[in-house]
């Protein structure tokens, strides 16, 4: 059996091993495959039976051109790059890797918040530039510093990741309110469930952990921002399309929004003309919440288990049943 990995570099830039996957078939790993040239993907898949992708699209054309393909597996949780509906019509299971990033993503969202509160990176650079050695006072700070205890965080999307963030926030002494379409008892043990308008009105910090749907695309926009507290902090390491970027940039520049910490943007890699790049008090990181080695190892382990289950005739983590 032939196995092809179309874009393995972000999953494994060299600090993990493909060996366990290689034990299951004749394995070929490409670091990158074009996101726009379907013919390149077709040529690389060839007569492979199992195909792994992260961001390389597997379209109807690719599926039709590779009739030996029997399984498509994501090296991620999201699977929108695959025409999974058409794959189902062709009898091809599409599998993903759920829940691998709960710890790392929730930790990163809090890291973004703490960076906004303390500007540790800036002050470290300032010290290394000689500013402390040349300071007439025994200490200094270039930005207002924020204490989180007693403040309210509103978490939109209160599944595994949102609840993990909520537990960390509570440990910091924050009050936690949450909005979710499906409230549950585990969530109630951490947060007070409220409607969106109440969350917007009460939260000092708003953190997004919801799935992207047609209904919530652009949900953070000028209308919802108007319902928020002046100086609210926004954290988004879920999906970039959840926010209207120009509206958020305008709110940051006007001071209505105090700061934003973002690990995702609407178009990735970020475009040079993205208005958030020039917005005030906006921290942007390159979609790395998921990327600690421990988290990526879980992706690798689940990818192997997905293939083993397929070979056993009982596929798991199938998103297009």
Q: Which of 128, 268, 271, 294 is catalytic?
A: 268
CA distance 302 to 121: 35
Q: Which of 118, 122, 202, 287 is catalytic?
A: 287
Please say if 239 is a catalytic residue. yes
Note the helical H segments in the chain: 19-22, 38-45, 60-65, 84-89, 102-118, 120-128, 160-171, 185-188, 196-202, 222-226, 245-254, 293-311
Please say if 287 is a catalytic residue. yes
| Contact in structure between 204 and 233 (CB atoms under 8 Å) | yes
Q: Which of 119, 239, 244, 296 is catalytic?
A: 239
CA distance 237 to 106: 9
N- to C-terminal Cα separation, the chain: 23
Query: How many Cβ atoms from other residues are within 10 Å of residue 300's Cβ?
Result: 21
What are the tokens at 141?
Answer: 């700070």
CA distances, 228 to each of 32, 115, 143, 196, 222 (Å): 42, 21, 22, 10, 10
**Residues that are catalytic:** 239, 268, 287
């Amino acid at each position: 059996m032939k196995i092809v990995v179309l874009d393995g570099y972000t999953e494994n830039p060299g600090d993990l091993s493909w060996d366990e996957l290689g034990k299951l078939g004749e394995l070929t790993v490409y670091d990158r495959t074009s996101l726009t040239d379907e013919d390149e993907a077709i040529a690389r898949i060839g007569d492979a039976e199992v195909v792994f992708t992260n961001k390389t699209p597997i379209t109807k054309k690719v599926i039709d051109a590779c009739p030996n393909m029997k399984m498509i597996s994501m090296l991620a949780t999201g699977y929108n790059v695959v025409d999974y509906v058409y794959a189902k019509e062709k009898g091809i299971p599409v599998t993903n890797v759920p829940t691998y990033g709960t710890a790392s993503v929730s930790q990163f969202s809090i890291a973004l918040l703490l960076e906004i509160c303390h500007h540790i990176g800036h002050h470290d650079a300032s010290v290394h530039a000689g500013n402390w050695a040349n300071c007439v006072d025994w200490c200094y700070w270039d930005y207002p510093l924020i204490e989180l205890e007693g403040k309210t965080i509103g978490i939109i999307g209160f599944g595994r990741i949102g609840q993990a963030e909520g537990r960390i926030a509570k440990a910091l002494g924050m009050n936690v309110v949450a909005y979710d379409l499906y409230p549950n008892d585990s969530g109630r043990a951490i947060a007070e469930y409220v409607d969106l308008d109440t969350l917007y009105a009460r939260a000092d910090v708003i953190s997004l952990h919801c799935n992207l749907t047609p209904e919530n695309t652009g949900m953070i926009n000028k209308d919802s921002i108007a319902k928020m507290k002046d100086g609210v902090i926004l954290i988004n390491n879920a999906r970039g399309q959840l926010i209207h970027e120009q509206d958020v940039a305008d709110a940051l520049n006007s001071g209505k929004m105090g700061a934003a910490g973002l690990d995702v943007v609407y178009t990735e890699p970020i475009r040079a003309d993205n208005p958030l790049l020039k917005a005030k008090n906006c921290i942007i990181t390159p979609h790395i919440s998921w990327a600690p080695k421990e988290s990526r190892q879980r992706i690798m382990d689940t990818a192997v288990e997905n293939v083993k289950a397929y070979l056993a005739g009982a596929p798991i983590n199938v998103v297009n049943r």
